């Protein structure tokens, strides 16, 4: 079993494996438990999420689950759950698989890209979410990458174009993002910054689903 050590980097503490391990070794190792990612043989432990971070993750995941239950478009998952890409195993806060890609589900992880990957930025994940993960998700074919920054109150929704690169989705004058993967799903960006967050039943009424 690889020796585990703690490294301090400029974005915060990480617990990484002292020696390389394969992805298969990672999946059965104690280091994979909780919030951990595998990057080209190294294990990286994530810092604990804040209550505000968790609140937005719960809000978005609940909306996606409720919408999907009524429209049966696929399956919504929650971190910690591994999404295996080319040389990394990432854990998006909320991954969604369309029903035509449910064959990517394995016993312990998703093999290949989710159709939607939602990442809520925390202070120690900003560079990773905007840098490495952006490139990896684009190259792997994640069709929508939702990047939510509660500190700066900024939300960006990247759509995978025909040329395989991300394009920033335009938010209309009404402040609404409309998903291309989940047809009919839309989100008022301002909802994300409300305190408290909107009641789920109120959102369902705005969607016309109840």
Q: Is the confidence at residue 145, as pLDDT, over 50?
A: yes
Cβ-based burial of 1 (10 A; exposed 0-12, middle 13-18, buried ≥19) = exposed
**What tens digit of pLDDT does each residue of 107-143 get?**
999 999 999 999 999 888 888 899 999 999 999 999 9
Tokens 């438990």 sit on residue: 33
Q: Is the confidence at residue 1, as pLDDT, over 70?
A: no
Q: Is the confidence at residue 9, as pLDDT, over 50?
A: no
Tokens for 123, please give them.
């202070």
Q: Is the confidence at residue 155, as pLDDT, over 80?
A: yes
Q: What is the mean pLDDT of residues 197-206?
A: 96
What is the chain's percent helix, strand, coil content, to nearest 5? 30, 30, 40
Tokens 């029903």 sit on residue: 99
Helical axes 200-207 vs 51-71, angle rounded to 10°: 40
Q: Is the confidence at residue 12, as pLDDT, over 50?
A: no
- Higher pLDDT pick, 34 / 178: 178
Highest mean pLDDT (candidates 23-37, 47-61, 129-143): 129-143
Residues, the chain: 210
Please, where are the H alpha helices in the chain? 23-28, 51-71, 126-130, 132-140, 200-207
Q: What pLDDT, on a 0 to 100 scale, did the predictor assign at position 171?
A: 94
Q: What is the mean pLDDT of residues 158-168?
A: 98
**What tens digit of pLDDT does each residue of 55-109 get?**
999 999 999 999 999 999 999 999 899 999 999 999 999 999 999 999 999 999 9
Q: Is the confidence at residue 3, as pLDDT, over 70?
A: no
Those residues whose C-beta lies under 8 Å from the C-beta of residue 207, and which sit 6 or more positions away, are: 67, 186
Q: What pLDDT, on a 0 to 100 scale, did the predictor assign at position 24?
A: 94
Q: Which domains does the chain have, with CATH numbers?
A: 4-45 (no CATH), 51-207 (3.90.1570.10)
Q: What is the mean pLDDT of residues 187-195?
A: 97
Q: What pLDDT, on a 0 to 100 scale, did the predictor assign at position 13?
A: 32
pTM for the full predicted model: 0.89
Q: Is the confidence at residue 162, as pLDDT, over 60?
A: yes
Q: Is the confidence at residue 17, as pLDDT, over 70?
A: no
pLDDT band at 172 (very low <50, low <70, confident <90, very high): confident
């Amino acid at each position: 079993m690889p020796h585990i050590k703690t490294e301090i980097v400029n974005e915060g503490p990480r617990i990484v494996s002292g020696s390389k391990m394969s992805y298969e070794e990672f999946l059965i190792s104690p280091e994979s438990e909780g919030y951990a990612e595998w990057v080209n043989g190294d294990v990286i432990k994530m810092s604990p999420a804040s209550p505000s971070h968790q609140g937005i993750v719960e809000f978005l995941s609940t909306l996606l689950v409720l919408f999907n239950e009524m429209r049966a478009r696929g399956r919504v998952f929650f971190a910690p759950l591994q999404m295996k890409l080319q040389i990394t195993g990432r854990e998006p806060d909320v991954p969604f698989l369309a029903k035509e890609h449910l064959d990517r589900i394995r016993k312990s992880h998703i093999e290949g890209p989710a159709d939607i990957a939602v990442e809520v930025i925390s202070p120690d994940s900003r560079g990773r979410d905007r840098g490495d993960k952006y490139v990896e998700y684009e190259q792997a074919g994640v069709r929508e990458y939702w990047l939510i920054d509660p500190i700066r109150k900024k939300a960006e929704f990247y759509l995978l174009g025909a040329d395989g690169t991300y394009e920033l989705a335009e938010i209309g004058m009404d402040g609404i993002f409309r998903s291309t993967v989940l047809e009919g799903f839309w989100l008022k960006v301002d909802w994300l910054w409300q305190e408290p967050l909107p009641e789920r039943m109120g959102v369902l009424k705005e969607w016309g689903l109840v």
